[in-house]
């Protein structure tokens, strides 16, 4: 019995996390459609300051399919594309027009994607450009975007549509309203109006009043 216990302990010892990897968490991502397939700009949080100041870094990836896109990102980070903390995905107009049903289904199926993830449509500027805009009161733009959307949803200014609700609506081919993001004159990102999706594809825009 003692030998068996000793062997079991020896076997589980390599699992004990002694190597202590600390992956760079993804806070937000911008996805667009290209001629070759998909492109993604992911915002990662680098915590390399001894004073505790975090800084954003951006990673771009491409792929013929969504899975190839995420595999490319994973490859570029040596297998540590850590999507579990991503809270916002910006959808470029190119992708919105092409349809987001596949994207929502893919994200909902990923084990490392939060079901509370918020999807938002970039309007008037490429999604990756909006993602990298300076944020007010927050050093990480992706985190600032999520807090902005969360705050507006809490106030009732935006419909509360986390990923699972979007996925359900798209599966049932319901009409869907996603918030739009645009660049203000002073160079920050702001939410205004809605993108209307019919059958999973962008059908038009509505203003806040409409």
Partner 1 sequence: MSIEFTNSLDQNIAVLQAQFAGDNTFVTRETRSPAGLRCAVFFFDGMVNALAINQSIIRPLMGAAYAKLSADALAQSVIEINDSRVEPDSERMFASFLYGDTVILTEGDSRPVVVNTKGFSTRSTSEPEGEKVLRGPREGFTELFMSNLSMLRRRLNDPRLKFTFSRLGTRTNTVVCLCYLDGVADQALVQTVQNRLARLNPDSVLDSNYIAERIRDNRRSPFPTLGATERPDVAAARLLEGRVALVVDGSPVVLTAPCILQECFQSNDDYYISVEQAGLSRLLRYAAFLLTLTVPALYLACVLHHQELLPTRLLLALSAAQRGTPLPPVSEIFLLLIVFELLKEAGTRTPGVIGQTMSIVGGLVLGQAAVQARFISAPAVIIVAVAGVTGLALPKLQSATTVLRFALAAAAAALGLYGMVFGLSLILLHLCALDSCQTPYLLNLLPRVRTHNEDSYLRAPWFRMRRNRFLARKEDP
Q: Which residues bind partner 1 (CB under 8 A)?
A: 12-13, 15-20, 22-23, 25, 27, 45, 47-54, 82, 84-85, 87, 112, 114, 143
Smaller CB separation from partner 1, 52 or 187 = 52
Asked whether the beta carbons of 66 and 102 are under 8 A apart, the reply is yes
End-to-end CA distance of the chain: 73
Smaller CB separation from partner 1, 85 or 177 = 85
Smaller CB separation from partner 1, 25 or 179 = 25
Sign of the torsion formed by the C-alpha atoms of 141, 144, 150 and 152: negative
The half-sphere exposure of 203 on its side-chain side, counting CA atoms within 13 A, is 10
Residue 12 Cβ vs partner 1, minimum distance, rounded to whole Å: 4
Residue 85 Cβ vs partner 1, minimum distance, rounded to whole Å: 5
Residue 17 Cβ vs partner 1, minimum distance, rounded to whole Å: 4
Contacts for 192 with CB less than 8 Å, ≥ 6 apart: 180, 182, 207, 208
DSSP letters spanning 124-146: SS-HHHHHTS--TT-S-HHHHHH
Residue 206 Cβ vs partner 1, minimum distance, rounded to whole Å: 31
Smaller CB separation from partner 1, 16 or 207 = 16
Smaller CB separation from partner 1, 45 or 119 = 45
Kindly give the pairing relationship between strand 38-46 and strand 26-33.
antiparallel
Residue 14 Cβ vs partner 1, minimum distance, rounded to whole Å: 9
């Amino acid at each position: 019995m003692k030998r068996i216990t000793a062997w079991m302990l020896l076997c589980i010892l390599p699992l004990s996390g002694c190597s202590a990897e600390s992956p760079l968490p993804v806070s937000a991502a911008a996805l667009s459609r290209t001629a070759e397939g998909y492109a993604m700009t992911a915002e990662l949080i680098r915590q390399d300051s001894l004073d505790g100041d975090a800084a954003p870094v951006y990673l771009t990836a491409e792929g013929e399919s969504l899975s190839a896109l995420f595999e490319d990102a994973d490859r570029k980070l040596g297998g540590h594309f850590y999507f579990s903390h991503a809270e916002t995905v910006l959808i470029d107009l190119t992708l919105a027009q092409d349809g987001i049903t596949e994207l929502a289904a893919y994200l909902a199926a990923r084990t490392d994607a939060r079901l509370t993830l918020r999807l938002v449509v970039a309007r008037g500027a490429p999604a990756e450009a909006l993602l990298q805009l300076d944020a007010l009161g927050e050093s990480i733009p992706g985190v600032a975007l999520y807090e902005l959307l969360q705050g507006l949803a809490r106030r009732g200014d935006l419909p509360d549509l986390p990923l699972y609700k979007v996925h359900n609506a798209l599966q049932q081919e319901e009409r869907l309203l996603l918030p739009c993001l645009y660049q203000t004159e002073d160079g920050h990102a702001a939410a205004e109006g809605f993108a209307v999706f019919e059958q999973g594809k962008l059908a038009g825009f509505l203003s806040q009043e409409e």
